[in-house]
């Protein structure tokens, strides 16, 4: 599927589709802005004035003038010297996003590059020939310099790229495989490729999309836990949430009401139940999940703006001027990533408490650790311990990265955002959250079976049937790890998320 987008006007749904394999085509007319920017650059060069990174050095070397005969070498050396990343390569979905974001940014005409630069980026994306980019090496200011250098080397026939089948090629061979030739860099093109927040933004967007999916999953597993524990749906009454007025709280309460509507298990204890209130992990789900949803929505708005931004430096602006500024500073991305981390940690923290409740016979009224023959069988005892370990790890990882700064480039770049690290740590946090929710899905499904022949609501019974296609009921102890892996795989798909109405 191809998405035709106007540079600067991409929506999150478009970006999610590109991450998942859609190709990008820029809407007709983008070359006009690019040509205008290129003309402005050439006029500025002809004036003989010092232009940062074009006819001067970089960072602390900005006062060093570069002779006209060495301008092309300056740009190529920039790519080579800045390709100083380390660590595991970034995941392919992140690289797809980074290529798209860089192409759209350059296509706005403020960076002074030729059309063939943008066309080559789009060709790599279209053929799924993705540059190999180490994950570590950016502090989220002056652009994501090291990772973008590795990404950009392929355009000049250096570095390496890997195709969809896993075959890795040198840069020139990768270009040849998709019918392109290496690009010879123009006066500002190396700098335009390296300056920008595209990698940190791509990492944060990838995490955002996963966080949105797992929040939905947590509402489903949370609703299942309510029925498994014979909890009340009264706390989800819309009148409660209208009085507070928090939008995420109102929306998640509506989702929980819908998920529990028609449950015969709920009806069985509506009257005569001596319990007055459920524990917070059941009763306060709208307040917690709703606050998390608001954080996710706020991060989404920031990241959508950043995805459409021009974060190069210097910039070619209206009036024919070349202005030096700091749009490459990724503070908005760092804050968005840090707030996503808070949401991810809290979704997992309250889910772990629901698992603990279900395994505690005093609180749940269910057999201890959700197995009938306790003693000889330990049931879900250690599964809850695993969930606790994952939740604890996420709490440590949730520490904000944006409050840190470490000066670089001989103190010329003396305050940095750490946005790339902030976004990079979201991936393991999401993996941990998926593991917690997988355990809750298994535990809640087991708990519901103790109420048979009573049934739950239609969506919960659908979810229950889905997990039972892969995991048998827990009648006696067996290996738990394969069951958790099966539940994780189910959560990774769209099947369960589709059951959750989130207005």
- Domain boundary residue, one of 196, 223, 249: 196
Measured CA to CA in angstroms, residue 122 lies from 3, 324, 350, 372 at distances of 12, 27, 42, 58
185/288 Cα distance (integer angstroms) = 51
Taking only the tens place, the pLDDT of each residue in 97-127 is 999 999 999 999 999 999 999 999 999 999 9
Q: For 216-233, how does the pLDDT look when each residue is reduced to its tens digit (9 = 90+)?
A: 999 999 999 999 999 999
Please tell me the predicted confidence (pLDDT) of residue 124: 98
- Domain boundary at 150, 166, 196, which? 196
Averaged confidence pLDDT in the chain? 94
Tell whether 413 and 440 lie within a shared domain: yes
Task: Measure the CA–CA gap between 326 and 281, rounded to whole angstroms.
Answer: 44
Give the pLDDT confidence score for residue 140 in this predicted structure: 85
Same-domain pairing of 155 and 230:
no
Same structural domain for residues 176 and 235?
A: no
Does residue 177 share a domain with residue 111? Answer: yes
How far apart, in whole angstroms, are the C-alpha atoms of residue 390 and residue 398? Answer: 12
The number of folded domains in the chain is 2
On whether both 299 and 337 belong to a single domain, the answer is: yes
CA angle 46/113/184 to nearest 5° reads 90
**Residue 272 confidence class, pLDDT cut points 50, 70, 90:** low
Q: How far apart are CA 264 and CA 229, in angstroms?
A: 13
- Do 186 and 232 belong to one domain? no
Q: Dump pLDDT digits (tens) for 339-353.
A: 999 999 999 999 999
In 229-329, alpha helices (H): 238-244, 247-260, 264-268, 280-283, 285-307
Return d(Cα 25, Cα 17) in angstroms, integer.
13
Contact 15, 24 (CB under 8 A): no
C-alpha dihedral sign at 251, 225, 263, 241: negative
Whole-Å CA distances, 249 to 147, 204, 238, 350, 430: 38, 24, 10, 15, 22
- Whether the pLDDT of residue 234 is over 70: the answer is yes
pLDDT of residue 10: 97
Domain hosting 479: range is 204-499
The pLDDT assigned to 413 comes to 75
> Could you tell me if 174 and 231 lie in one domain?
no
Q: Within this chain, do residues 246 and 182 fall inside the same structural domain, yes or no?
A: no
- What is the share, in percent, of the chain residues with pLDDT greater than 70? 99
pLDDT tens digits for 289-331? 999 999 999 999 999 999 999 999 989 888 888 888 999 999 9
pLDDT band for position 494 (cuts 50, 70, 90)? confident
pLDDT of the residue at 324: 87
Residues 84 and 169 in one domain: yes
Q: What is the C-alpha separation between 116 and 172, in angstroms, rounded?
A: 16
Could you tell me the two tokens for 94?
Answer: 């992140």
Reply yes or no on whether 271 is catalytic: no
Task: Please tell me whether residues 67 and 211 are part of one structural domain.
Answer: no
More confident call, 55 vs 431: 431
Give me the pLDDT at residue 274, please: 64
Q: How many residues does the chain have?
A: 503
Whether the per-residue pLDDT at 87 is higher than 90: the answer is yes
Say whether both 352 and 318 belong to one domain.
Answer: yes
- This prediction has a pTM of 0.95
Single out the residue in 196, 212, 243 at which a domain terminates.
196
The CATH number of the domain where 98 resides is what?
A: 1.10.275.10
118-157: pLDDT as tens digits: 999 999 999 999 999 999 999 988 889 999 999 999 999 9
pLDDT tens profile 312-323: 998 988 888 888
Q: Give the pLDDT confidence score for residue 66 in this predicted structure.
A: 81
Which of 30, 52, 328, 380 is the catalytic position?
Answer: 52
CATH number at residue 371: 1.20.200.10
Residues 348 and 447 in one domain: yes
């Amino acid at each position: 599927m191809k998405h035709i987008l106007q540079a600067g006007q991409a929506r999150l749904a478009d970006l999610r589709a590109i991450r998942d394999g859609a190709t990008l085509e820029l809407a007709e007319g983008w070359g006009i802005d690019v040509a205008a920017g290129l003309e402005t650059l050439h006029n500025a060069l002809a004036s003989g004035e010092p232009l940062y990174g074009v006819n001067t050095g970089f960072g602390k070397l900005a006062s060093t003038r570069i002779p006209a005969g060495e301008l092309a070498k300056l740009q190529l050396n920039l790519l080579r010297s800045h390709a100083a990343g380390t660590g595991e390569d970034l995941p392919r979905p992140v690289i797809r996003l980074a290529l798209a974001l860089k192409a759209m940014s350059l296509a706005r005409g403020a960076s002074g590059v030729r059309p063939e630069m943008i066309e080559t980026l789009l060709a790599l994306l279209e053929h799924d020939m993705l540059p190999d980019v180490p994950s570590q090496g950016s502090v989220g200011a002056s652009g994501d310099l090291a990772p973008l250098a590795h990404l950009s080397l392929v355009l000049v026939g250096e570095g390496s790229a890997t195709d969809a089948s896993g075959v890795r090629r040198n840069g020139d061979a990768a270009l040849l495989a998709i019918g392109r030739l290496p690009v010879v860099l123009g006066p500002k093109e190396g700098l335009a490729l390296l300056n920008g927040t595209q990698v940190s933004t791509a990492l944060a967007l990838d995490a955002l999309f996963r966080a949105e999916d797992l929040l939905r999953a947590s509402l489903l597993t949370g609703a299942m836990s309510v029925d498994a524990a014979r909890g009340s749906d009264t706390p989800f009454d819309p009148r409660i949430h209208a009085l507070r007025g928090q939008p995420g709280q109102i929306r998640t309460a509506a989702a929980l009401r819908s998920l529990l509507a028609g449950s015969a298990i709920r009806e069985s204890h509506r009257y005569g139940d001596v319990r007055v209130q459920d524990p917070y992990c059941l009763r306060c789900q709208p307040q917690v999940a709703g606050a998390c949803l608001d954080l996710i929505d706020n991060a989404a708005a920031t990241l959508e703006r950043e995805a459409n931004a021009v974060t190069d430096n210097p910039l070619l602006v209206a009036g024919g001027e070349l202005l030096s500024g700091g749009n490459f500073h990724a503070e908005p991305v760092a804050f968005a990533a840090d707030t996503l981390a808070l949401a991810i940690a809290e979704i997992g923290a309250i889910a772990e408490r629901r698992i603990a409740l279900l395994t505690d016979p005093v609180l749940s009224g269910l057999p201890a650790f959700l197995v009938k023959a306790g003693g000889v069988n330990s049931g879900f005892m250690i599964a809850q311990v695993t969930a606790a370990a994952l939740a604890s790890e996420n709490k440590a990882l949730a520490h904000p990265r944006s409050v840190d700064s470490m000066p670089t480039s001989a103190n010329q770049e003396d305050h940095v955002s750490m946005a790339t690290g902030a976004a990079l740590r979201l991936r393991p946090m999401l993996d941990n959250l998926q593991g917690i929710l997988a355990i809750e899905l298994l535990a809640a499904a087991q708990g519901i079976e103790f109420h048979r022949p009573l049934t739950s609501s239609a969506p919960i019974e659908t979810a229950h049937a889905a997990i039972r296609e892969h995991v048998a009921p827990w009648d006696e102890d067996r290996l738990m790890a394969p069951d958790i892996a099966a539940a994780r795989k189910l959560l990774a798909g769209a099947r369960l998320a589709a059951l959750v109405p989130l207005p």
